[in-house]
Structure formats: C-alpha cells, structure tokens
A and B are shown apart, each in its own frame.
Chain A
Amino acid sequence: MTTHLLDDTASLTGRSLRHITRSADTIITTAVTPIAIMLLFVYVFGGAIETGTENYVNYLLPGILLIAIASGIAYTAVRLFTDMQSGIFERFHSMPIARSSVLWAHVLTSLVSNAITVVIIVVVGLLMGFRTSASLLSWLTVAGILALFTLALTWLAVVAGLSAKSVDGAAGFSYPLIFLPFISSAFVPTDTMPAPVRFFAENQPVTSIVNTIQDLFAGEPVGNDIWIALGWCVGILVLGYVLAMAAYRRRIS
C-alpha cells in the first residue's frame, strides 16, 4: 500500500499544480488583497500609528503574510470540494493507488501556491521600503514557521473541503482566520487595546507568530515567543490533521 505513496503523491501533486499554473488569477487574487491592505496601512493609516519602529512596513509585513496564507488556503478547500463533486475523487479511490496520496497532493499544492504568494508579497514589501538585517538562518526560520503555519491551516482547509455542502461553505470557513491578524500585534502594538481585547490579542496564535517573525527580521533575539508560536502551529496542525482524517473516514465509509 505504501510502496506507491511517493509516486502517486507526485503524480497527483503534478495534477493540482497544473490547476494553479493554469489559473494564475487565483495566485494573483490571493496576493492582491493583502497587498492592498499593506498599501492602505502603510500610506494611509501608517503615519498615525505608533509602533516604536521607524519603518512601519517592517512592522506590518509579517501580519500581511499571515493574512495572505489564511486566505490562500481557502482555495485548497475549494479544489478538494470540487474533486468530491466532480466524481474524480471517487475515480482515484477506486484505483489501486495509495489513497492518502489524494489528500497529500492537495496539501503539498497548498504549500507551493502559498509560498509563491508569500514571495510576491515580500517583493512588493521590499519595493515599499521593507528592510531587514536578518541572517540566512533567520530567513530560513521565518520560512519554516510560515510553512508550518500553512501546513496547519491547510489541514483545517481539508476538513472544510471534505465536509462542506457547497462551494461557498468550503471557501467561507477561512474568513475568521483572515480577521485574526487584525486583533493581534500585526498592525498595532497591543498596549493601547482595552483590557479584554488586549487579553485576547496577546493570547491568540497570530500574535506570537507575528512577534517572532518581526524579531527575526529585525535581527533581534526572539525570546519565548518562538516556542509559543511553534506550540500553536503544531497544536493546530495536530488538531487539523486528526479532524481531517475523521472527516475523510466519514466520507469514504
């Protein structure tokens, strides 16, 4: 059963990557909204926001990247839902393949497409004045955290794709995720928020991830935040994977 897992995953990933390259608009759409938010905050609100850093783009970029990923994974849910609807999911399942490769192909495709979006946004950030003294190791750490965050949210998207009753349902689950960065340290420091909001902001996953990436980009020591961030990511990943497997078993039983 596992002998063909790698082959089959490669074949099916090749298939869904073609979906991405042939509808480049999905990548552009995923990148455009976060870029628009970045422009809005840097050139409209940014002048009035006190972050304690001279360069607001530097402060903002990590949160923008998380928004991009949170909206990007919705396409994974939609692609999976479409596969279930069209019957091609059943075709694959009636073939002598490693069945788990069907889901893994979608997950790997999500990692690739979100990585492309992230690179586009970082390039736009550089044009807008983002500057970093991060070492290669710091860059790799940032990439690793973003990949882990993508992976964790993608498994949640798999749950949505497998359980949704309509395309809108499959896509809509990501809206709350997109808003999480707004109630975090991504746009403004949490100090000025009223106590209950501040408590929520400081104890939700996005803040620790944003703080870690901000520190890594600034070349400062990351402190405890990185462990909290990794804890959140791994926790969501495990939860998402368990829920996705349960939803998967429900669909194929």
Chain B
Amino acid sequence: MSFDNAYESLLGGEDAHWAFGTGFSEALSGVNREFPAGVDREALAAYCLMLGDDALIFSQRLSEWCSRAPELEEDIALANIALDLLGQARMLLTRAGEVLGRDEDALAYLRDEREFRNVHLAEIDCGPGPGGDFAATIARLLVFSSWRLALFSRLRGSADPVLAAIAEKGLKELAYHRDHAAQWTVRLGDGTDESHRRMQAGLERVWPFVDELFATHAVEVTLTGVAVDPASLRSEVDGVLEAVLNAAGLTRPTDTRAARVAGMAGRDGVHTEAMGYLLAEMQHLHRSLPGAVW
C-alpha cells in the first residue's frame, strides 16, 4: 500500500463502509415491490416520477443554500431538509424505474427537461443568487411542505404498498419541515418592519405557483385508489397556510395562477426558464464523465 495518497488506504475493500462515494445500494433494496393486481404500471411510474421529481428538484434548490444561509443553523437545517427530500426522491425514482427499466441515477441525470414532471414551485429560483431571498425560500418551503404533507397523509392509504410505505415514512419528515417553515414565517412576519416586508415579498414571489399544486392530472384520475387527487387537498392546505399567515400578521397574496403553456405546466414536462439552468448544474458532472465512480 502506498501512503502518497491518504485516501488509498481508506478506500480498500467495499466502500459501503463509508457514508460517501458510490457504494450506495439502490434505495428500495430488500423491500417487497410486487405490483398490486389491476394497477396500470405505466401510470404508476408516471405518478412516482411526479412525486419523485418534486422532491429531487426542490432538494437541489435547498442544497444551493448550504453555506449561504443567514446563519450556520440554517445551513444545517436546509441541508437536512434537502437530504430528507433526496431520500424520498431516491425511493420514488427507483419505484418508477422498475417499470421504465432505468435506475434512479439514469432518471435523475440522463433525462432532459421535458421529461421531468415536477411542479413549477419546486424549480423556481428563490436564491441564494441574485434576486433571491431567504424569506422567499422559507415561503416556498412553507407552501411545498404543507401541500406535500397533506398529500402524503392521504397517500398512506394507497393501494400500492410501496407508495403507502414511502408516504408513511416521509410524513414525519414533512411535518418537521412544515413546522420549521411555519416558525420562520411567524418570526419574520411578526419581526421588524424589514423582515415583515421581505417575508410578504417572499409570499408574493411563490404564490403564483400555488394553483398548479392542486390541479388534477390525467394520471391521478387513472390511478384511483393508488394516487391522491390533489384537488382534494386544497381546503386542508388553505387552512394551514391561513393559520400561519394570521399568526405572522401577513397578507395572503391574491395572485395564485402563473401562466401555463397551452394549458400545460410542470406535470406535463413544460417548465420555467429556471429549470434548464438547474438541470445543467445538477447533471453536468454525470454527463461529462459517464460512468464515473469515486
């Protein structure tokens, strides 16, 4: 063994001993993944992509804040939330991949923009770069986690046992994310004039993307009993958001509907301008060095 490189001595044998690198086994290894009888597998895969892409793309956005948040504790918080969502994404993409014949990495790194099925709320740029703000990221986290928590709460009863198990697991994580965002919203909204102004501006930034969250897609209609109709979540989520905004002394924005393209949006693979830049950064390494391991 050479000692020129300290890592050589560490990396001998199986690298799964280390919590980094490429030794990770697939996300659903060992889970019973039989498909329930009578379920449209193509539709199930499409649905898993929708929920998986929401988590993957928002996880990427949250990761961008690492080392850029207003305080160290928030670097850790947003990175931890991103990690939970990445875990949910890995399981959902693996489930989709069983039907599509592609693994989670191929789905994350080798699909083009039109093949992603995430809602626009997950992809828009709320910072930390120019024009963004921590308050806008908190506003997005509040809306996203309130909506996904309500969705996962119902998904626990899905006829697909894998989706039901992923939802049962993710539910606790999402409840913690929502509480975190709600507590920040109250702190900023009910804080100084400046923090109030920026929290209100953050809400105005994300609110046009709210309606899309509750629009029923054809796939969700096909999968009755397996998928959750997002339209059925609206009153619960509205109630939660109203309680938070009232406690924070903030005003609910009125602009809830961003433009669609010929009636299509994220669930149809039609994305905003920000998506291409996000994918370029997320996929660049894997595409430049196909098959790279480390």
* Bound together: no
